[in-house]
Structure 1
Amino acid sequence: MKLLLISDIHANKIALDRTLTVPHDRIICLGDLVDYGPMPVECIDAIKDLKIPTIRGNHDNAVAYRIDCGCGYEYKNLSISSREYTWQHLDQEHIHFLKNLPLNLKENIDGHRLYFTHGSPVSMYNYIKPDTPVNEIEKMIEGIDSDFLFIGHSHIPFVRKVKNTTIINPGSVGQPRDGDIRASCAVFDTVSCETEIIRLQYDIKGIYRLIRDKNMPDQDQLIDILKRGY
């Protein structure tokens, strides 16, 4: 099975549509459908209509429950201002959908134990990055009893093995933070257990225009992040 992994869409429906063109048998989303981008309604509706299994990310949680997102200081002001914009556009059905997203999924496919979550098995707020010390990761994955752990949250794509667990982050669809402005996703082959990180060009200027046209707060900062890829 070709499993398409997407994460951290952040209300960028144009980038989401581009990633969905990647050949796949099934899709799983690792969370953060909302905040930062101009199209929260469209992204939630697409995920619902396609019935894509989706994890609740920290931004989904913040929007749904009106609490802090727990994100880093560098982007905190933008998460707060764009969340106000998001609340103005979502209805109660969208909020209900976000509230009821699961914190993790566990599946056994082709004899492999797969675990899907947003930040880490311990918390949606935990960051696991390519350079996170092994001893810190070991604490966060202790007891999950899975061969493969799929995460998002850091917006940085990577594949890394810690003890007997291979950790896979597909990167961010709509808000890359690794210096590459292209949309990021991954395809995991459940038979060969090989992972391909995929980067895709999309109409990024279209998102710039929507940020302006919809009069989002902090427009210049939001656009600059997309232009830099971090």
Structure 2
Amino acid sequence: MIQIAVFGDVHGNLPALEVVLKDIEQRGIHQKFCLGDLVDFAPWGNEVIERIKSLNIPCILGNHDERIAFDLPVFPLAKHSEEETKARFIAIDHSKKHITEENKKFLSEFPFHLKLNYKIGNKHWNIQLVHSSLESNDTYLYESENDEVFTNMLEDSKADIILMGHTHLSFTKQFENKKWAVNCGSVGRSKEANRLASYAILTLDDEKIVPEIIQLKYPLEETALQIDESGIPDYYASFLRNENVLIL
């Protein structure tokens, strides 16, 4: 049996990341992978990057990582309110100003996606990691998508399971061919009502893969207070407190 921990969408939230890393360690899981989006919306972008770097955790390129690494322009999203649009521009500009050049370079070197192969007995398991999809790191795929969306991705990647993030909403879906699509949720900026830090554990043996979503409490109010005291808009503290009207 092998266990693998997969997490992503930390978004500068170091307290949430530390709780997740501690839980993974306490479970004795050594294989860890990150689905990207280390930065934006909480004040510890550099510290989160340094933590991932110090632990040598393989990480793929999230859309926020890419924007900060390459100083890409920010465009408003139709789904966002005027308030969120304004806050988003300010928060991303904060990251562009405060993430160090060394850490921007580190982000710029992330692979776009990763394919893993684990052998247990005579069985090879193919595991595909993406931020949001095979073609894009900025596509919103929800649990409600037609199954064909995910089975096509599995077929294209020749994978037994595909793990993604980006939407900040966790789910596990198994299909008739016994293959899986899993969204790990978000470590640092969950859009689920409970606002818990979320990640996934895969348990592999020579017959099956079993995914499990783990959700953990972290010092959310302390984190929100730190956002209030930073140059990041208070909108994101209110978001963690679940005070905003959420548009998915």
TM-score normalised by structure 2 residue count:
0.85
- Farther-moved stretch of structure 1 (41-50 vs 103-112): 103-112
> 2-side partners of 1:117 and 1:69: how far apart?
22
Contact 1:120/1:141 (<8 A) preserved? no
Q: Could you tell me which of 104, 111, 122 is aligned with 2:113?
A: 104
Contact 2:68/2:104 (<8 A) preserved? yes
Contact 1:29/1:52 (<8 A) preserved? yes
Query: Aligned with 1:210: secondary structure?
Result: helix
| CA apart distance, 1:179 | 1.2
Over the aligned positions, Cα root-mean-square deviation in angstroms equals 1.9
Contact 2:221/2:241 (<8 A) preserved? no
Query: Aligned with 2:43: secondary structure?
Result: coil
Query: Aligned with 2:193: secondary structure?
Result: coil
Q: String of CA shifts for 1:119-159, please: whole Å, max 9, x gaps.
A: 01121111221101224444555521110101110111111
Contact 1:184/1:199 (<8 A) preserved? yes
- 2:204 paired residue number: 190
May I ask how many residue pairs the two structures share in their alignment? 228
- Farther-moved stretch of structure 1 (97-106 vs 185-194): 185-194
- 2:164 paired residue number: 151
User: Structure 1 pair 141/194, CA: closer, same or farther in 2 (3 Å)?
Assistant: closer
Query: Aligned with 1:109: secondary structure?
Result: strand
Computing the radius of gyration over CA atoms, which structure comes out larger, 1 or 2?
A: 2
| CA apart distance, 1:223 | 1.2
Q: How does 1:35-74 map to 2 (within 5 A)?
A: 35-68=40-73, 72=77, 73-74=79-80
> 2-side partners of 1:57 and 1:168: how far apart?
17
TM-score normalised by structure 1 residue count:
0.92
Contact 2:20/2:197 (<8 A) preserved? yes
| CA apart distance, 1:2 | 1.5
In structure 2, stretches of 5+ residues that fail to align are none
Percent of paired sites with the same residue: 27
| CA apart distance, 1:213 | 2.2
> 1-side partners of 2:90 and 2:6: how far apart?
28
Say if 2:132 is the partner of 1:119: yes
Query: Aligned with 1:120: secondary structure?
Result: coil
